[in-house]
Chain A
Amino acid sequence: MATLSLSAIGKSFGGADVIPGLDLDIAEGELVCLLGPSGSGKSTLLRMAGGFEMPDRGTVRIGGADVTRMPPEKRPTAMVFQSHALWSHMSVAGNIAFGLKLRRLPRAEIRSRVEAVLELVGLAGYGARKVWQLSGGQQQRVAIARALVLEPQILLLDEPFASLDQHLRERMREELRDIQQRLGITTLFVTHGQDEALALADRIVVLKDGRIEQADAPDVLYRAPATRFVAGFIGTMNFLACDIRRGRADHPLFAVPLALPDGPAELAIRPEALRLTPDAEGPVRVRRVTDYGSHVLADLETDDGERLKAHCPPEARPAPGQRMRLSARQLSAYQQGRRAEASPAHLREGALHA
């Protein structure tokens, strides 16, 4: 299909630098998810790719061609809006057929393509309905169908599954992934759902204040977050503040050797990397236990009042108040907001005991 590349792109609104300057290259057929807190500039970035927002600096290229000044109707992009933005004075079929009619396709072909795409999003037979007669999830699917029917080279989605329930969301994202791969559509996808991004994306771009914090494959992003921000933003992470002194962390729970320069640091451990063993003399106490079905989450507190979260298997469910010993299978350290490269050698082999 086509590549999408944003180079040194920047945008300000009324003096505020929403996107100071950013580079992002998306390969043909790649699905990239944009993640980031509210107001980090995800929609703005997407809107610049679609041509709805003119960048103040930098260039947008699609398939190598400079489209920075090209209006949206000329770009081979299709956008699915956060708010659906369906045309409420048209029927479902009317919404989907609008772009095809503009392309002056023969009537029979329009009809068959509308029917095919309705089938694809699970709304066969809904063509004659008015859009305001549909549920939120159905409207969402019409919006997706409306974008897909034009067979765009670039698909832009702004939180398209926001109004769907869990099941429908999972089904829709699988279907979207399916269609996207089958047609090889280059896709830029904004979402608030991390699990969605982790499940869907070839690559996740984490934005913060209009800057890219990290752009990596989901597993890399989850297992080796490059910055303290990403580590805290993606999934759950326990952060333990400590000092590095002469190659060793001085934290009471994890006094591990770390080949790092002296200074303040934070140890970062995922809840699933912690293992709990009952021990009356253990350093942490269980405060609360929450059962999530697939796993049990224990809320722990040290004698200093520091809090940690740990996963435990449902069959080894601890009781509140019980004292525990801790070990970590994996641990990383952050200094000055960035991931410290050096990791203790023996951590890769076995567990680390507290």
Chain B
Amino acid sequence: MSRRTDWTGILLAAVLGLVIVVPLVVVAIWAFAEVWRYPSVLPQEFGLRFWNATLARPDVWAAMSMSLRLSVTVTALSALICLPAAYAFARLDFPGRNWLFLSFLASHAFPKFGLLVAIAGIFLNLGLISTFWGVVLIQLVGTLMMMIWIPVAAFQSVDRRMEEAARDAGAGPVRVFWSISLPQAAPTIFAALMLSFVGTFYETEGAWLIGAPEIRTMPVLMITFINNQIVVQYGAVLSVLLWVPSFFALLFTRRLVGSQSFAKGFGV
């Protein structure tokens, strides 16, 4: 590898950093600003007034708890359904395997809103509109592709000889999956779980279309806030609140993926 300074890389990182970090910083500053008039670069007055106002609202707490409950439920269900399926895709050869596999991609290849409207129609007949489990179902569909495709790749990279050695030691297929394949694929599967959790937390269209008016998640609440009152700070405070799960997810992932045992999870 060349040891010269990679200017293109640095430039690219800088541009990406600007595009991603600057808006985030601006929003974060807005969340703590009380007076910020053009053309000043920084707010004239900082304060926690809008934080107090936002956090004092019961609907914010209700939405936060709803969002968390939804994300946990959806991710857990998704893992329960998708991980064994992904293992089957990775290890078994059954008729229609490739078609089924690609069909998960298809669910993401078309404009989502049309699909959502169609599903909403069905849910209306089933009485699932505006219920917790209705939203769970719709969001579950959204996680399927990620929770199939990423774990399939993870399972495929597990050394088959390890699984065979476990069979040899006396473990049946289920035990092999649980004790060998799953831990071996754990770092990647964990990343898929995190993506699914965070993705579900921020999912808006489905939650809004199926959940309204009873089920209000954080993003849906934020849209309502922004639509109803043009006070930038409310939106900013909610955004910063919304970052919290991402932030913890990132930290958690880093810790886990960075730790030696997980780094070595893929074999030596």
Report A's interface with B, CB cutoff 8 A. Answer: 50-52, 71-73, 77-79, 81, 83, 85-89, 98-99, 102-103, 130-132, 146-147, 150
Q: Are B264 and A79 in contact (CB under 8 A)?
A: no
B170 at the interface (CB under 8 A from A): yes
> How far is the CB of B190 from the nearest CB of chain A, in Å?
13
B268 at the interface (CB under 8 A from A): yes
B121-168 with Cβ < 8 A to chain A: 159, 161-162, 164-168
B265 at the interface (CB under 8 A from A): yes
Q: Are A83 and B264 in contact (CB under 8 A)?
A: no
13 more A-B residue pairs beyond the given contacts A78-B168, A85-B161, with a C-beta to C-beta distance below 8 A: A52-B164, A79-B165, A79-B168, A81-B164, A85-B162, A87-B166, A88-B265, A88-B267, A88-B268, A89-B184, A102-B171, A130-B264, A132-B267
* Chain B 92-104 interface 0/1 with A at a Cβ cutoff of 8 Å (1 = within): 0000000000000
Q: Are A102 and B170 in contact (CB under 8 A)?
A: yes
Give every chain B residue within 8 A of A81 (Cβ-Cβ): 161, 164-165
Q: Are A83 and B161 in contact (CB under 8 A)?
A: yes
Known contacts A52-B164, A81-B161: does B261 contact A89 (CB below 8 Å)? yes
Q: Are A150 and B183 in contact (CB under 8 A)?
A: no
Question: Could you name 30 residue pairs across A and B whose Cβ atoms are closer than 8 Å?
Answer: A50-B168, A52-B164, A52-B168, A71-B167, A71-B172, A73-B169, A73-B170, A79-B165, A81-B161, A81-B165, A83-B159, A85-B162, A87-B165, A88-B184, A88-B267, A89-B184, A89-B265, A98-B166, A98-B169, A98-B171, A98-B179, A102-B175, A103-B170, A130-B261, A130-B264, A132-B264, A132-B268, A146-B165, A146-B169, A147-B168
> How far is the CB of B219 from the nearest CB of chain A, in Å?
37
Give every chain B residue within 8 A of A51 (Cβ-Cβ): 167
Q: How far is the CA of A334 from the CA of B7 in the complex (A)?
A: 70
> How far is the CB of B155 from the nearest CB of chain A, in Å?
14
B180 at the interface (CB under 8 A from A): yes
Give every chain B residue within 8 A of A83 (Cβ-Cβ): 159, 161
Q: How far is the CA of A83 from the CA of B165 in the complex (A)?
A: 11
Give every chain B residue within 8 A of A52 (Cβ-Cβ): 164, 167-168
Q: Are B159 and A73 in contact (CB under 8 A)?
A: no
Q: Are B159 and A85 in contact (CB under 8 A)?
A: yes
> How far is the CB of A147 from the nearest CB of chain B, in Å?
8
Give every chain B residue within 8 A of A73 (Cβ-Cβ): 167-172
Q: Are B183 and A89 in contact (CB under 8 A)?
A: yes
> How far is the CB of A13 from the nearest CB of chain B, in Å?
14
Tally of contacts, chain A with chain B, CB under 8 A: 76
Q: How far is the CA of A98 from the CA of B180 in the complex (A)?
A: 11
Partner of A88, one of B164, B168, B175, B264: B264
Q: How far is the CA of A77 from the CA of B265 in the complex (A)?
A: 28
Known contacts A85-B159, A87-B180, A89-B261: does B268 contact A72 (CB below 8 Å)? no
Q: Are B168 and A77 in contact (CB under 8 A)?
A: yes
Q: Are B165 and A85 in contact (CB under 8 A)?
A: yes
Give every chain A residue within 8 A of B170 (Cβ-Cβ): 73, 99, 102-103, 150
Give every chain B residue within 8 A of A99 (Cβ-Cβ): 169-171
> How far is the CB of B165 from the nearest CB of chain A, in Å?
4
Known contacts A81-B164, A85-B159: does B184 contact A102 (CB below 8 Å)? no
Q: How far is the CA of A303 from the CA of B1 in the complex (A)?
A: 54
Q: What is the chain B residue whose CB lies nearest that of A77? A: B168
Q: How far is the CA of A73 from the CA of B174 in the complex (A)?
A: 12
Q: What is the chain A residue whose CB lies nearest that of B182? A: A89
* Chain B 248-268 interface 0/1 with A at a Cβ cutoff of 8 Å (1 = within): 000000000000010011111
> How far is the CB of A134 from the nearest CB of chain B, in Å?
9
Q: How far is the CA of A26 from the CA of B169 in the complex (A)?
A: 22
Q: What is the chain A residue whose CB lies nearest that of B180? A: A87
| Top 3 A-B residue pairs of the complex, sorted by shortest distance between their CB atoms | A99-B169, A85-B161, A132-B268
Q: How far is the CA of A197 from the CA of B204 in the complex (A)?
A: 68
> How far is the CB of B104 from the nearest CB of chain A, in Å?
28
Q: Are A150 and B169 in contact (CB under 8 A)?
A: yes
Interface centre among B171, B172, B261, B267 (most CB of A within 10 A): B267
Interface centre among A73, A78, A147 (most CB of B within 10 A): A73
Q: How far is the CA of A52 from the CA of B175 in the complex (A)?
A: 17
* Chain B 189-216 interface 0/1 with A at a Cβ cutoff of 8 Å (1 = within): 0000000000000000000000000000
Q: How far is the CA of A238 from the CA of B218 in the complex (A)?
A: 84
Give every chain A residue within 8 A of B268 (Cβ-Cβ): 88, 131-132
> How far is the CB of A42 from the nearest CB of chain B, in Å?
16
